[in-house]
Amino acid sequence: MIKASVQPNDGLIVVRNIVKSFGRLLVLDNVSLAVEEGKTTVIIGPSGCGKTVLMKHMISLVRPNEGEVYFKGERIDELNERQLARIRVEYGFLFQMGALFDSLSVYENIIFPIQQHHKITDWKAIDELVKQKLAMVGMDGFQMQFPSNLSGGQQKRVALARAIAMDPNVIMYDEPTTGLDPIRSDVINELILKLKRELKVTSIVVTHDMKSAYKIADRIVMLHEGKIIADGDADHIRNHPHPVVEQFIEGKIGEADLAALRHGGTKFQTQYAKDDFK
């Protein structure tokens, strides 16, 4: 039986039968996904499988070769940049890399998206807004610092404050915990949960971090070779019978890759006996 495809109003954001290639590389092969309003949808999958590309379709930063993208039932993949401005103000985006402008202070970074859309006249209100957004991520007081003086985790939090500066309906997070230690990662997880709870945002999170995925997701979808191969809540994914899903969530190397390594002939020996730790 062929699965009925999604309809434009099945979710706040709907991608429908999208195909995307770069040259001869087929990245997304007829992908459909309806993102439910107010929920956190997590996209997982191996490096290079197209997670970021899929997410960028949802805000028309990348356009499909085939298929359609809808926001609130309106088709957005055919809008021009000027028409998209109206849609994009509803989104906050935490990019995978280069989150902040190094030459701007924390304060200037946060007001950047506001200045893109409005001429600021009431600076007192803006000061208050920056303070409020920074407080939301536990970074009030850092207004005059520059990104290079902040730790990776602090930079992510400031980037998050910037992403929520315009009170978005949707927040997209591209690998928000990558490069952070487990404690700082968990701070980000808690923030994602808090923003969902307090701002009622719809969140889309791309991650490799299964601990984070299990904690924050209402729904997890796994991309593999251009297709969605798993889709469900944390328990569903944890107990998924598909060997590729199992391998990925357990971080195990595949048989083919393992065989290749064996051919390399490297032998490993443990350096310590168990008794050394007694």
DSSP β-bridge partners for residue 21: 26
Q: Which stretch binds ligand ATP (CB under 6 A): 1-9, 49-57, 196-204, 209-217?
A: 49-57
Residue 48 contacts ligand ATP per CB under 6 A: yes
Out of 9, 22, 85, 190, the residue judged to bind ligand ATP by CB under 6 A: 22
**CA nearest 140: which of 151, 149, 130?**
130
CB of 51 to ligand ATP, least distance (A): 4
How far apart CA 163 and CA 159 sit, in angstroms, is 6
Edge to edge, what strands does the sheet with 74-75 contain? 25-35, 13-22, 66-71, 74-75
How far apart CA 55 and CA 20 sit, in angstroms, is 12
CB of 43 to ligand ATP, least distance (A): 8
CB of 44 to Mg ion, least distance (A): 11
In the complex with ligand ATP, the residue whose CB is nearer, 110 or 220, is 220
Q: Which does 47 bind (CB under 5 to 8 A by kind): Mg ion, ligand ATP, none?
A: ligand ATP
Interface residue list for Mg ion (CB under 5 A): 52
DSSP β-bridge partners for residue 15: 33, 69
Judged by CB under 6 A, the number of residues near ligand ATP is 12
Binding mask 72-111 for ligand ATP (x = CB under 6 A): ------------------------x---------------
Contact yes or no for 115/108 (Cβ under 8 A) = no
In the complex with ligand ATP, the residue whose CB is nearer, 139 or 216, is 216
Which segments of the chain does DSSP mark as H helices, in order?
51-57, 81-88, 106-117, 123-136, 152-163, 182-199, 210-216, 234-238, 243-249, 255-264
Residue 41 in tokens: 């949808």
* Residues of this chain that bind ligand ATP (CB under 6 A): 22, 25, 27, 45, 47-53, 96
